[in-house]
Structure 1
Amino acid sequence: MSDMLLIGLYALAAGGAVAVAGAGALRLLRDRSILVHVVVLLAITVAAVAAGVAAVAQAMFLSAHDLRVVLVTVSASVAVSLAVGVTFGRRLAASAVWAQEARERERRLEAGRRDLVAWVSHDLRTPLAGLRAMAEALEDGVVRDLATVTEYHRRIRVGTDQLTRLVDDLFELSRINAGALRLAPTNVPLREVVSDALAGVAPLAAGRRITLRAAESGWPRVRAGERELARVVSNLLINAVRYTPEDGTVQVEAGREDGDVWLAVSDTCGGIPDDDLHRVFDVAFRGERARTPESGAGGGLGLAIVRGLVEAHGGRVRVGNTGAGCRFEVRLPAA
């Protein structure tokens, strides 16, 4: 028993010395990655075992040959343990990075949801208050002359259309985010989709004296859902017209490149600040601090819907500044 106790003390002393040194090393490396911590911790453990074995072997007065055998065996165990530790540490580090990115993404989404609720609530309350005031004025007979009554009716219709578009955008965005969007891709002639979208946005452009231009030729066919593609083109055109100053120009063109079909909408809005380029497709981003319905910027959901619909088709959308404005480019699989 005394020999066993002595052997245990030798092993404890040798291993304890290594553990103390390892604890100091971990303290110095406290700001390093998880992989470094796992590898160092495993190395400390294995080194403590090796030191204990070597100390006991020396105390037992083993022959030189037997001591080499013991040390070779311990070294092989060390190599295997470190290899396993490095592999495990890399996986753990990758998992930690993924978890951190997931938490950061969740925080961004949650902040975006809170902003969306606040902004949409504002955009709903303001026109509803105006509609209620006009309806009450008509109901109470405060307004009686025909011209004013007709104007009130027109404003009520315009406000109703605005609310309808906002609710429609919210429904479309919720379908995209919930993964409930079901596409029925067909070979769609891009020229017809663009022509219909131009006709729809023509009254808005005429009211701002904005010239709409489309290429005469080079219109390919694209593999997409016709309704969703029409929504993409319409949203891009409406966005371009709303942010282009009066007497400006909005140009639409398309082509085929590397097996993809591209559609570009260019305007003369003066360009987007570089700090805002990466936020253009974010939900409720309008590029301005004043968030009033009179600004004509809509609910700030149009470009977010564009990105969601394009990515649902396996395509991509990007924006960049040109000399006089900006250019939105959509790429989709060719028919």
Structure 2
Amino acid sequence: MRRRSLTAAVTVLVLVPVVATLTGLIGVSGFMYTPQLAGFLVVCAVVAAVTVPAAMMLGRGIANDVMWLHEAHDAERAAEASRRELVTWISHDLRTPLAGIRAMSEALTDGVVSDPGDVAEYARRIRGETVRLSGMVDDLFQLSRITSGALTLTLAAVPLHEVVSEAVAVEAVAAARKGVRVEAARDCRWPVVRGSDPELARVVRNLLSNAIRHTPPAGSVVVAAGVSGDRGWLRVDDACGGIPDAELDRVFDVAFRGEGARTPGDGSHGGLGLAIARGLVTAHSGEIEARNHGPGCRFEVRLPLA
């Protein structure tokens, strides 16, 4: 409707002076047909035949520009809302470890805790909170590089089996602490994809960390890979119990963790892991998707083969 209104307005705007001039000349001629009036009618018809299509094209162009500006404005408002949400969530997650570090350091400074065993325990907790804060800052830096377009990739042939083996070894400690089993599916055809080894390792680690965090004790996380056409794929299956359909499309949004996932000290680094994974996969000209599968969720990555 907006496009039609603008097109009609521009067309009328062009026709008004032509019709006004024609009406004035007819009035001056006393509403009598003369050769001069006939010639002027021909000229007006030619002018109208040229200007009306031009006005319609101009109106459509203006309408398209206006609609593009509206869409850009809506996208800008959505981005601003996302930034505000990110700042709010990160501020919340930063306050929790900082408050713990401050309380424990004050207890050590004031001599409230003096037993060597308690001092060592406080030091261990402070170190854990510091590592968590460092991870959050690292995630924010990586996300800023992705969103600003400053991420540069050095592409090469990357065997996914090696990347997955290293990621499983790193995440095995967290999995064992929670009682979750992490394993690779048997009879996999591990592809060699074109990508950047450090960034792909981060994608796999983020997916494994997310799967371990949401899988209950005694559950399992299974990693599988294969080839489909000119793409290699990697799947991470967990036992989280599934994601509500209303939230399934938002799992890759910045700072989104669902209503039931905001528990203090869950080590989720502000809910940026999946958003970073999507950004890195997209930078590799790949795709990533999430869907419910079996007892949990399946996160699948597809990348170009080397």
Give the TM-score taking structure 2 as reference length: 0.90
Note the C-alpha offset of 1:292: 3.9
CA distance in 2, matches of 1:303, 1:97: 32
Note the C-alpha offset of 1:258: 2.9
Gaps of 5+ in 1: 1-31
Higher alpha-carbon deviation: 170-179 or 230-239: 170-179
Contact 1:123 1:292 in 2 (8 A): no
Residue of structure 1 aligned with 2:232, choices 261, 281, 285? 261
1:186-235 C-alpha deviation (Å, 9 max, x unpaired): 10010000111111111111122222121333101111111011011100
CA shift in 2, pair 1:322/1:79, >3 Å: farther
Work out whether 1:252 is the aligned partner of 2:223: yes
CA distance in 1, matches of 2:65, 2:87: 32
Gaps of 5+ in 2: none
- Tell me the equivalent position of 1:306: 277
Residue of structure 2 aligned with 1:270, choices 233, 241, 244? 241
AA in 2 matched with 1:246: P
Residue of structure 1 aligned with 2:161, choices 151, 169, 191? 191
- Tell me the equivalent position of 2:5: 36
Residue of structure 2 aligned with 1:49, choices 15, 18, 33? 18
1:135-180 C-alpha deviation (Å, 9 max, x unpaired): 2222333223333222212212211111111111111111112221
Q: Aligned Cα RMSD in Å?
A: 2.2
- Tell me the equivalent position of 1:107: 77
1:55-104 C-alpha deviation (Å, 9 max, x unpaired): 634636235x7666544442332222121122112221121121111111
CA distance in 1, matches of 2:158, 2:218: 32
1:1-335 map, 5 Å: 32-43=1-12, 45-46=14-15, 49-50=18-19, 52-53=21-22, 56-57=25-26, 59=30, 61-63=32-34, 69-216=39-186, 217-288=188-259, 291-335=262-306
CA shift in 2, pair 1:44/1:129, >3 Å: closer
- Tell me the equivalent position of 1:24: none
Secondary structure of the corresponding residue to residue 167 of structure 1: helix
AA in 2 matched with 1:203: V
CA shift in 2, pair 1:324/1:72, >3 Å: farther
Contact 1:35 1:92 in 2 (8 A): no
CA shift in 2, pair 1:292/1:323, >3 Å: closer
Contact 2:10 2:56 in 1 (8 A): no
- Tell me the equivalent position of 1:7: none
AA in 2 matched with 1:279: R
Max Rg structure: 1
Secondary structure of the corresponding residue to residue 212 of structure 1: strand
AA in 2 matched with 1:231: R
AA in 1 matched with 2:221: V
AA in 2 matched with 1:311: T
Secondary structure of the corresponding residue to residue 293 of structure 1: coil
1:16-68 C-alpha deviation (Å, 9 max, x unpaired): xxxxxxxxxxxxxxxx31443333442364166246426634636235x7666
Contact 2:3 2:64 in 1 (8 A): no
Give the TM-score taking structure 1 as reference length: 0.83
Secondary structure of the corresponding residue to residue 294 of structure 1: coil
CA shift in 2, pair 1:257/1:72, >3 Å: farther
Higher RCO (C-alpha 8 Å, min separation 6): 2
1:98-151 C-alpha deviation (Å, 9 max, x unpaired): 111111111111122122222212212221221122222223332233332222
CA distance in 1, matches of 2:17, 2:205: 70
Contact 2:11 2:59 in 1 (8 A): no
